[in-house]
A and B are shown apart, each in its own frame.
Chain A
Amino acid sequence: MAQVELRNIRKSFGATEVIRGVDLSIDKGEFVVFVGPSGCGKSTILRLISGLESVSSGQILFDGKDMTRTPPSKRQLAMVFQSYALFPHLTVAENIGFGLSLAKTPKAEITRRVTEVAKTLQLDSLLDRTPRQLSGGQRQRVAIGRSIIRNPKVFLFDEPLSNLDAALRVSMRLEIARLHRELGDVTMIYVTHDQIEAMTLADRIVVLNGGRIEQVGTPMDIYENPANTFVAGFVGAPSMNFIRCRVDTDGAARFGPATISPARPHEVSGDALLGIRPEHLALVESGDGTFDAEIELVERLGAESLVYLRAPFLEKPITVRTGGKLGLSERQAVGVLVDLTNLHVFSPASPAPKPEH
């Protein structure tokens, strides 16, 4: 039975519908990450699951029981906020033990549990400090400590790492992954706009756009088989290249001087968009590739370089991801080789995908 089930939930604030019919089942112990651009309704979905906001219509089930109208405290869940939301007047120990002390747990028991949790999160030496005396990463660990101490069944994270600098973000990401392993059967629902967090943490990714689910799947599934141009463009950095083309009855795509036959079967014909990830293009000598183009700009990132190309038949420059040390210069003519096994063909008005059940 699903741990959390959303049945056609909708939410409007005044006249604007922010969540427009979301269906989703989340299994026990699963790590589900919601990604999507800012303002697409990620936080709102999390707040609906937590009960901090109530749905306009639809149902929310926990363990098969209808919890749509149950207050947040009765849902056995914990929430970690981007702003940490630690109480400035309480010490680290008091912040972590906050929920237990509200429930009038005996002092000795609170101390024991706080010590235990603090050890898991490497906060043992900081228990007497106040939040102001902590770094960002430490604060977020305290916030996580406050949420795990009551042994919730479901964890909700709302962009917990967005306030941290890049290096800390990486280490906290690993920490959260470790926590999910160590806590065993807890369900984690995690919201982020950072696709790297989504790719690395998730068992399943839910791509959200404009209050609707665009696609649900494992990270690699989403990466390799994006259901539409939105998902294809949103997941992966740098973004997938889209080239306008015409698809013949034999399935071959034509644009400019090039004709290429995608290795994978597809059902699109007529006007189409060809999707090629930057890592599936290679640079060769002019004339040796699928088509020729001119280098507009080279960005050298050290381990790799991003090469931006233009050609008269391309609406926008396309990006090629290639090795770090290259003797390439701007305005140079090059050939572009397309990896036919990793092509995506989308119809220009990519239909909204069916939500997965």
Chain B
Amino acid sequence: MESQNRLWRVLLLALPILVFSVLVIWPLLSSFYYSFTNWNGFNRDYEFLGLRNFAKIWTDRLFFNAIVNTTIWMAAALVLPTLTGLFLALLLDRQVRGARIFKTVFYLPICLSAIVVGQIWIWIYQPDWGLLNTFVKLAGNPDFNYAWLARPDSALFAVIVAWSWQQTGLSMVIYLAGLTSIPSEMLEVCEIEGATAWQRIRRVVIPLLTPSTVVVVALSMINSLKGFDILYIMTGGGPFNSSDTLAMHMYNESFKKYLMGYGSAISVVLFLIALTIIGVYFRQLRKVDEIYG
């Protein structure tokens, strides 16, 4: 049983690993290579700089700005869609009327590309006639025309909301699947023992959803680290770098300033950060496996 299981795991992993090698390992190695050069992205005559690109990172004010923004971005991307997804899943899990339709509606944004999602939210945030400001105006504030995406105070958070809106459907679906795998007897024990709805959710349902949470968090983390396109569409990292994340910064340095070598150095740092976070995370997984596995 156990060894058969293992064989399957290996087989199922073989193909992805192959694809992964071609599409990920090769570019990764190239990045490492160019991070030691001053390549501009076009010419073949670049020089080796040793560690000078990495030294430059330490003096790059915008790099640290990007670190702060990335932290905020990731923390929000981790927490918000997870909580809203969980909330919706708990709400829609019961056999209420129209639950199916709501599930579909909430899942829909996941099927849209970041470009479409970004454009929808640009319209929502549009200062003069956007949905958001129209509501504020109707609510008794006729002169309101705050430009959500053009102000350094709000730009990053405005994109975070759009991102969370899209990602919620994903965590909702994973949690819905998790809910169906909770043995009904465990919920019946709650009913017989007299648990309130809140006690049932907090003491039994949420802990039993841990395997789903593990998946949701892993996906959110990976997606948010990659989360570049929606920022690119909505703010391009601006205004005044207020929504500049590491990925955004790397892009600007590489493709706007044609500092491909330096951009590669940033990407190497980003890669190492991602590796550390994911490494720590997967170590924690073993504990979960021991309890629920």
| Chain A: minimal CB distance from B203 (Å) | 8
Nearest neighbor of B185 in chain A, beta-carbon distance: A85
| Chain A: minimal CB distance from B216 (Å) | 17
A52 near B188 with CB under 8 A, answer: yes
Separation of A50 and B199 alpha carbons in the complex (Å):
20
Most chain A beta-carbon contacts within 10 A, residue among B191, B192, B207: B192
Contact partner of B192 (CB less than 8 A), chosen from A52, A87, A103, is A52
Contacts of B290 in A (CB 8 A): 132
B191 near A52 with CB under 8 A, answer: yes
B291 near A102 with CB under 8 A, answer: no
Nearest neighbor of A143 in chain B, beta-carbon distance: B189
- CB 8 Å contact bits of B39-65 with A (1 = contact, 0 = none): 000000000000000000000000000
**In the assembled complex, B194 has its CB within 8 A of some CB on chain A:** yes
Contact partner of A102 (CB less than 8 A), chosen from B188, B194, B207, is B194
**In the assembled complex, A65 has its CB within 8 A of some CB on chain B:** no
Nearest neighbor of A132 in chain B, beta-carbon distance: B291
- CB 8 Å contact bits of B50-92 with A (1 = contact, 0 = none): 0000000000000000000000000000000000000000000
A79 near B210 with CB under 8 A, answer: no
Contacts of A98 in B (CB 8 A): 189, 193
Q: Given A89-B291, A102-B199, A132-B291, decide whether A72 and B207 contact each other with a Cβ distance below 8 A.
A: no
**In the assembled complex, A353 has its CB within 8 A of some CB on chain B:** no
**In the assembled complex, A78 has its CB within 8 A of some CB on chain B:** yes
Q: Given A102-B199, A132-B290, A132-B291, decide whether A87 and B186 contact each other with a Cβ distance below 8 A.
A: yes
Q: Given A88-B208, A88-B292, A130-B291, decide whether A102 and B195 contact each other with a Cβ distance below 8 A.
A: yes
B194 near A103 with CB under 8 A, answer: yes
A85 near B207 with CB under 8 A, answer: no
**In the assembled complex, A83 has its CB within 8 A of some CB on chain B:** yes
B194 near A78 with CB under 8 A, answer: no
Q: Given A89-B207, A102-B199, decide whether A81 and B291 contact each other with a Cβ distance below 8 A.
A: no
Contacts of B196 in A (CB 8 A): 102
With an 8 Å Cβ cutoff, the count of chain A residues facing the other chain is 23
B188 near A79 with CB under 8 A, answer: yes
- CB 8 Å contact bits of A155-186 with B (1 = contact, 0 = none): 00000000000000000000000000000000
Separation of A85 and B185 alpha carbons in the complex (Å):
6
Contacts of B204 in A (CB 8 A): 87
A72 near B191 with CB under 8 A, answer: yes
Contact partner of A73 (CB less than 8 A), chosen from B183, B193, B203, B291, is B193
| Chain A: minimal CB distance from B222 (Å) | 26
A-B contact pairs, 27 of them (CB 8 A): A52-B188, A52-B191, A71-B191, A72-B192, A73-B192, A73-B193, A73-B195, A74-B194, A77-B192, A78-B192, A81-B188, A83-B183, A85-B183, A85-B189, A87-B204, A88-B208, A89-B207, A89-B210, A89-B292, A98-B189, A99-B193, A102-B193, A102-B194, A102-B203, A103-B194, A132-B291, A146-B189
Given contacts A77-B192, A146-B193, 16 further A-B contacts (CB under 8 A): A50-B192, A52-B191, A71-B191, A73-B193, A73-B195, A78-B192, A85-B183, A87-B207, A89-B291, A89-B292, A98-B193, A99-B194, A102-B193, A102-B196, A102-B199, A102-B203
